[in-house]
Amino acid sequence: MAAPSWEDSVKSLKGVILDMCGVLYDAGEGGGTPIPGSVEAVKRLKASDLKLRFCTNETQATREKFVAKLQRMGFLISVPEVFSPSPAAVAILKERGLRPHLLVHDDVVPEFDSVEKTNPNCVVIGDAAEKFSYQNLNAAFRVLVGLEKPLLFSLGRGKYYREGDGLNLDVGVYMKALEYACDTEAEVVGKPAPTFFQKVLDDMGIPPHEALMIGDDLVNDVGGAQVCGMKGVQVRTGKYRPSDEKHPTVMADGYVNNLAEAVDTILKLRGQ
């Protein structure tokens, strides 16, 4: 069998971008648990000649609290290496003078402290989980429908994620709900928005064809990275489902059983 195309490109790689939930750790009680081998895999990547960044659509905590959680699990990781949607959204809101009505997780509200929120002229939704009550979704809808042109920002467009022993609905599902209710299309902040991936590439100072994205979300991690010109590899952990490997529109450049296997393969091919 021919080697998957991503292995051919490993030698010319300059940087790797890792998704977090489902790649580094599994979400669950008490914040989650590391996926076996992932703590060590991150350590090995850091010790290599590759640049490393982390790219998450996590919007259930501030970036600081989220990184602290990963550190407690043993991951070598620091805040400036992590790209998440909320700070990107704050930058957009300020740049365009927008005042959001927020429908986000309580723990991520502090990220928006510096943004004016009275008399809202747009809506921002994140992975609000239990806060996605009928009443809260209706309140966001009423803000949107009261605007001359509804303006909705969605912190990601994921469908679901794995937590403990089950799948949980993600923000994208509520984005679709509001899009339909208001005849509008949301602006996605976070993966798979190309501007979001581009920020990470800019920060590493490398072009897309020298970067590899590793994620458990076929459409948002792998497909999103591929649209930007990167290679995308899917891990068979996290929200991975076997049917992903016969997806009608997105085909990963490679599949690995987990992050440890991906890093093994990369470092071996590079002679490290």
Q: How far is the CB of 247 from a copy of itself (least distance, A)?
A: 10
Q: Does 167 engage in binding with a copy of itself (CB under 8 A)?
A: yes
Q: How far is the CB of 17 from a copy of itself (least distance, A)?
A: 26
Q: Please, which residues bridge with residue 153 across strands?
A: 124, 187
Nearest to 57 by CA among 152, 195, 154, 143: 154
Q: At what angle do helices 171-182 and 134-145 cross, to 10 degrees?
A: 40
Residues 209/230, Cβ–Cβ less than 8 Å? yes
Q: Does 147 engage in binding with a copy of itself (CB under 8 A)?
A: no
Q: Does 135 engage in binding with a copy of itself (CB under 8 A)?
A: yes
Q: Does 113 engage in binding with a copy of itself (CB under 8 A)?
A: no
Residue 17: partners with Cβ closer than 8 Å, 6 or more residues away:
52, 53, 54, 55, 197, 200, 211, 212, 213, 214, 225, 230
Taking the least distance from each CB to a copy of itself, the nearer of 166 and 271 is: 166
The CA radius of gyration of the chain, in Å to the nearest whole number, is 19
Q: How far is the CB of 130 from a copy of itself (least distance, A)?
A: 5
Taking the least distance from each CB to a copy of itself, the nearer of 128 and 200 is: 128
Q: How far is the CB of 188 from a copy of itself (least distance, A)?
A: 13
Q: Does 60 engage in binding with a copy of itself (CB under 8 A)?
A: no
Number of residues that bind a copy of itself (CB under 8 A): 28
